[in-house]
Structure 1
Amino acid sequence: MNKQWLSVIIAAFFEVGWVIGLKHAENALEWTGTAIAIFVSFYLLIKAGESLPVGTVYAVFVGLGTAGTVCADSLLFGEPWKLGKILCIVVLLAGVVGLKLVTGEPKEKEVNE
């Protein structure tokens, strides 16, 4: 895995944070953390999109963020697990992994001298 894909994974982690923050933030400190998570998430997403196929980057970002948010909701806030929900997450993650596997590695940009 290269640095750009690692950035997408970290961006998705921060996406989970800001999505949770949008629902559960109650004071200035929590809202500040939510705003920082939004900034970091989109900054990393934009940087990764500069050298990777943007459609694949966005699909992986959203897929990982969605799966992470569903898992965090269950683990942190007691949302019940259901077989259908688990199966959908598995299918979603399989699609994300599939997109990553069929997307070629970025080529270094040639510099014209």
Structure 2
Amino acid sequence: MVTRGELWWADLGVPRGSGPGLRRTVVVVSSDDFNGSRLSTIIVAVVTSNTRLAPMPGNVLLPPEVSGLDRASVVNVSQLMTIDRRDLEESIGELPAWAIAEIDAGLAGALGLGVRG
């Protein structure tokens, strides 16, 4: 089963505008209950090697020793996608709890979760 907090290589298809595309690294952000259901989709956040995006609100910098990637990368919480689980090509590994907590905080801010008004 695909689990929340895992990094994967995914085929995101042809990019449109400023959206992500091609073969990219993603982190699974949908819940394990959702991931373990019969739905064929997974919610992911796109990971980029463009570390200039790290200071943007909610984004999370992942050092290579944490991500298992060959360079520092950034979870871009403003680039969420719902993809077919068949588009997940290769598992890279699982992020530690502190990184998932930072992603959660970034998602809460980006989506206005827990905020009234």
Identify the TM-score tier after normalising by the shorter chain: under 0.3
Structure whose CA Rg is larger: 1
Q: TM-score, normalised by structure 2?
A: 0.26
Larger strand share, 1 or 2: 2
Q: TM-score, normalised by structure 1?
A: 0.27
